[in-house]
Amino acid sequence: MSSLYYLNKFLFKYKRYLLLGILFIFISNVFGVMMPGVVKDTINDLVSSDLTNGDVSLGAILKIALMSAGLYVFYSVLKGIFLFYTRQTIIKMSRYIEYDLKNEVYDQYQKLSFNFYKKNATGDLMNRISEDVSKVRMYLGPGIMYTINLVIMSGLIIFVMLRVSPILTLYVLAPLPVMSVLIYFVSFKLNKKSNLVQSEQSKLSTFVQENFSGIRVIKSYIREKESIKNFNTQAVNYKEASLSLAKTSALFMPTIVFLIGLSNIITIYLGILQAREGLINAGEIAQFVIFINMLTWPFASVGWVTSLIQRAAASQARINEFLKETPEIINPSTEKVTFAKEIVFKNVGLVYENSGVRALTDVNFQIKKGETIGVIGKTGSGKSSLAYLLLRLLDPTEGSIKIDGKNLNELNIDSWRDLIGYVPQEHFLFSDSIRNNITFGLKASDIPDEMVFNAAKSAGIHESILEFPAQYETKLGERGINLSGGQKQRISIARALIKQPEFVIFDDCLSAVDNETEELILNAIQNQLKNSTSFIISHRISSIKYADRILVLDEGKIVESGKHDDLLTLNGAYASIYAKQKLSEEINTL
Ligand SMILES: Nc1ncnc2c1ncn2[C@@H]1O[C@H](COP(=O)(O)OP(=O)(O)OP(=O)(O)O)[C@@H](O)[C@H]1O
């Protein structure tokens, strides 16, 4: 439960709503408690005016009934009005806190580092910001509202009941706590079963989602029958969990109705016994019966509210786990970063925390301002890891990276990343227009079309964009146009080029484009970004052969470095990659 203390700061922030809510609950209950009093008085009035006596006119009886009904309706309208305001304050407060909490979690997600995202599954991150926050909201809204209502209502009702008959009060209230405990156990069981249904449902939707995404693979490997069979197994699990839940919830209502009936019988029976001794009158018995019925539901909800609070506590504990996580990479400075001379990697090593894989060992190299560095090596040799380190998405486990003599981890990360135009290996486009995808990295809002067109031209995608009906306003993503892999890659490249970056990092993004476009893009970097420094990772020698220096990586180590011609004369790893690529090119031209 202690995890819920975290929410106290929000309750304090919205104390105005909470205090007003408590006041409205009180007022609405005052009117609620007055209503059975009207019934009591009416019954007593009718009983005392001897109906068998012919002197009592029908009009007089009608007058009593109408006045009572009018008063009853008047109190119930007032009660309803304040109930409306209760919800307008407490439920509103819970929605405001839900909004604040979601924003806080999202802000924290944005601050957390690359490693955090590698350690935690996307589904889990989504759940904490949606489902867990919703469960916490149930505690802040209905949870708090029903608890306060129970306390105030029982206080008022017990106060009135004690004034009428302390002994009868004691007898009729005795079963209520027993009922609460009973209902607690039933709702505990219900919760367990409904959690199981939820988990089966999420398994089912994950299965369906994955199968829809992979439908091409399923069809091409003719695995439709297996897919249907697996779906059936999942669906049966879901059906069984749902049926079991339905059975328990079917028992829930009859149990409550039975218990309420029992309380009523006890009240009437004991009331009659007391009336025979002249301790209580008919109107008061009726008032007691109504009170018991009024108390039953709030007491019945104790079990439900308890389990709701327990669930909220578990959810808040999960949220707190992420909120308390300190980002591994924090921005140490606000000073603007300039890059004038060089980047130096000294004895750099990198071990991935989540998998324990050593990606880089004792890496030493230098990038002078304005140089083009090419990186080549087998799959898994550590090329992308070098890019992550340069962007400071990760910090090296050993050694240091210095920019103009200053440690990268002492520089303002935002300002450093602002100098970089990065194209990742796995291109990513947002479900937005092509134009917005290209201008994504720019802070200004009024970007001239000319600038967008030039970037697209340099990335060799301008002509293709003009062929779409909505051209640069074409929407991408699920409900928009779907581009080919190469087209997406070029838009990613245009996104990096439009920044006119001082430092370009291309992570194997030229492999998806043809030789002609590759040359166009490399020329664009040379001609348009004249003083920029480039770090080009590639599997293809054609992308890096004009580089000032080429680093050849193997199992996380630099095994060769130098210019294309020098590396060829070494007759080592690079020459062997070159020979293989040349051979396959020759075979392709045959
Ligand atoms: N996020 C990660 N978590 C754990 N291990 C990783 C992660 N990313 C890469 N690795 C491991 O680090 C090593 C180097 O990977 P890296 O992606 O840097 O290689 P690469 O040369 O870029 O490969 P490719 O050419 O296939 O892109 C690999 O053994 C890989 O399994």
Atom 31 in ligand 1: residue holding the nearest Cα: 380
Quote the pLDDT of residue 12.
94
How many angstroms is it from 461 CA to the middle of ligand 1? 29
Query: Per-residue pLDDT averaged across 238-258, rounded?
Result: 85
* Range of lowest pLDDT (199-208, 334-343, 466-475, 480-489): 480-489
What is the average pLDDT across 353-382? 89
Domain with CATH 1.20.1560.10 in the chain: 2-323
Identify any residues that bridge with 110 across adjacent strands, giving them in sequence order. Answer: none
- The 3-class SS string of 461-519 reads CHHHHHHCCCHHHCEECCCCECCCHHHHHHHHHHHHHCCCCCEEEEECCCCCCCHHHHH
pLDDT of 109-163, one tens digit each? 888 877 788 777 777 788 788 888 998 999 999 999 999 999 999 899 999 989 8
352, 333 Cβ separation under 8 angstroms: no
Round to whole Å and give the CA distance between 295 and 176. 8
Each residue of 264-298: b (16+ CB within 10 Å) or e? bebbbebbeebeeeeebbbbbbbbbbbbbebbbeb
- Centroid of ligand 1 to alpha carbon of 226 (angstroms): 33
User: For 13-29, what is the mean pLDDT?
Assistant: 95
CA of 257 to the centre of ligand 1 (A): 63
> Which strands make up the sheet holding 406-407, listed edge to edge?
358-368, 342-351, 398-403, 406-407
Q: Which pLDDT value is given to residue 517?
A: 76
pLDDT band at residue 355 under the 50/70/90 scheme? confident
Specify the pairing of strand 372-377 against strand 549-554. parallel
Cβ atoms of 39 and 287 within 8 Å: the answer is yes
pLDDT band (50, 70, 90) for residue 398: very high
Q: What is the complex's ipTM, to 2 decimals?
A: 0.95
For a mutational test of ligand 1's pocket, the pick from 119, 360, 363, 381, i.e. the residue with the most ligand atoms closer than 8 A to its C-beta, is: 381
* pLDDT tens figures, 536-566: 998 888 888 888 999 999 998 999 888 988 8
CATH number of 429-499: 3.40.50.300
| Alpha-carbon Rg for the chain in angstroms | 37
Residue 444 has pLDDT above 90, yes or no: no
Is the Cβ atom of 385 under 6 angstroms away from ligand 1?
yes
Structure confidence by residue, pLDDT tens digits, 309-324: 888 888 888 888 888 8
User: Is 381 near ligand 1, meaning CB less than 6 Å away?
Assistant: yes
Helix (H), strand (E) at residue 181: helix 175-213
How many A from CA of 409 to the centre of ligand 1?
22
pLDDT at 478: 60
376 Cα: distance to centroid of ligand 1 (angstroms): 14
Reference 532, options 421, 458, 385, 448; nearest CA is: 421
Two structure tokens written together for 487: 């087209």
- For 23-79, the pLDDT digits (tens) are 999 999 999 999 999 998 888 887 776 655 655 677 777 887 888 899 999 999 999
Q: Which CATH superfamily is domain 2-323 in?
A: ABC transporter type 1, transmembrane domain (1.20.1560.10)
Ligand 1 contact via 377 beta carbon (within 6 Å) = yes
DSSP H or E stretch at residue 535: strand 533-537
Per-residue model confidence (pLDDT) at position 544: 85
Q: In which band, very low, low, confident or very high, does the pLDDT at 174 lie, cut at 50, 70 and 90?
A: confident
Instruction: Say how many Å lie between the CA of residue 491 and the centre of ligand 1.
Output: 24
Residue 509 near ligand 1, beta carbon < 6 Å: no
pLDDT at 587: 72
- Ligand 1 centroid to Cα of residue 337, in Å, is 29
Convert the pLDDT of each residue in 255-292 to its tens digit.
778 877 888 888 889 888 888 888 888 888 899 889 88
Largest Cα separation within the chain, whole Å, is 129
The reply to whether ligand 1 has any atom less than 6 angstroms from the CB of 169 is no
Q: Which residue has the tokens 């919830």?
A: 249
Cα–Cα distance between 419 and 337 in angstroms, integer? 8
Atom 1 of ligand 1, residue of closest alpha carbon: 118
Question: Using CB atoms within 10 A of its CB, is residue 400 exposed (0-12), middle (13-18) or buried (19+)?
Answer: middle
Which residues on adjacent β-strands are paired with residue 553? 377, 558
User: What are 419's two structure tokens?
Assistant: 């100098």
Q: How far apart are CA 314 and CA 462, in angstroms?
A: 52
Checking if the pLDDT of 480 tops 60, the result is no
Query: Which residue has a Cα nearest atom 14 of ligand 1?
Result: 382
CA angle, 228 as apex, 226 and 231 as ends, to 5°?
110
Query: What share of the chain in percent tops pLDDT 70?
Result: 96
User: In 3-state terms, what secondary structure has residue 443?
Assistant: coil
- CA–chain centroid gap for 344, Å, is 40
* CA gap 590, 584 in Å, rounded: 10
Residues 33 and 157 sit within 8 Å (Cβ to Cβ):
yes
Output the six-digit token pair for 388.
Answer: 């992550």
Q: DSSP assignment, residue 433?
A: B
Ligand 1 contact, 382 CB (< 6 A): yes
pLDDT at 574: 86
Give the model's pLDDT for residue 50. Answer: 62
- Our measurement of the distance from residue 91's CA atom to the centroid of its chain's CA atoms, rounded to an integer in Å, reads 21
The arithmetic mean of pLDDT across residues 446-450, rounded, is 83
As to burial, measured by CB atoms within 10 angstroms (0-12 exposed, 13-18 middle, 19+ buried), residue 490 is buried
Mean pLDDT of 186-200: 79
CATH 3.40.50.1000, domain 337-419+501-590, yes or no: no
pLDDT score, position 481: 61
Residues 368-393, mean pLDDT to the nearest whole number:
90
Q: Which helix (H) or strand (E) holds 248?
A: helix 224-276
**What per-residue confidence (pLDDT) applies to 580?**
84
Cα 379 to averaged position of ligand 1 atoms, centre (Å): 8
Q: What's the 285 CA to ligand 1 centre distance in angstroms?
A: 79
Per-residue pLDDT of 489-541, as tens digits, reads 888 889 988 888 889 998 887 776 777 777 777 777 777 777 789 899 988 88
pLDDT at position 358 over 80:
yes
Q: What is the pLDDT of residues 381-393, one digit of tens each?
A: 899 999 999 999 8
Q: Is the pTM of this model over 0.95?
A: no
Average pLDDT over residues 452-465: 86
Whether 25 contacts 149, CB under 8 Å: yes
Q: What is the pLDDT of residue 385?
A: 93
| Residue of 113, 115, 357, 559 best suited for mutating to test ligand 1, as the one with most atoms within 8 Å of CB | 357
Residue with tokens 């051209």, as numbered in its chain: 471
Query: Residue 318 and residue 101: Cα distance in Å, rounded?
Result: 13
DSSP 140: I
- Give the Cα separation of 504 and 533 in Å (integer): 6
**pLDDT at position 54, please?**
56
Q: What is the residue with the minimal CA distance to atom 28 of ligand 1?
A: 380
Which pairs count as long-range contacts for 260-264, CB under 8 Å and 24+ apart, including other chains?
260/292, 260/293, 260/296, 262/175, 263/172, 263/175, 263/176, 263/179, 263/292, 263/296, 264/289, 264/292, 264/293
Three-class SS of residue 351?
Answer: strand
Determine the Cα–Cα distance for residues 556 and 478; give it in Å rounded to an integer. Answer: 38
Question: What is the average pLDDT value for the chain, to the nearest integer?
Answer: 85
Report the separation in Å between the CA atom of 223 and the middle of ligand 1, taken as the mean of its atom positions.
31
The CATH 3.40.50.300 portion of the chain extends over 337-419+501-590, 429-499
Three-state SS at 553: strand
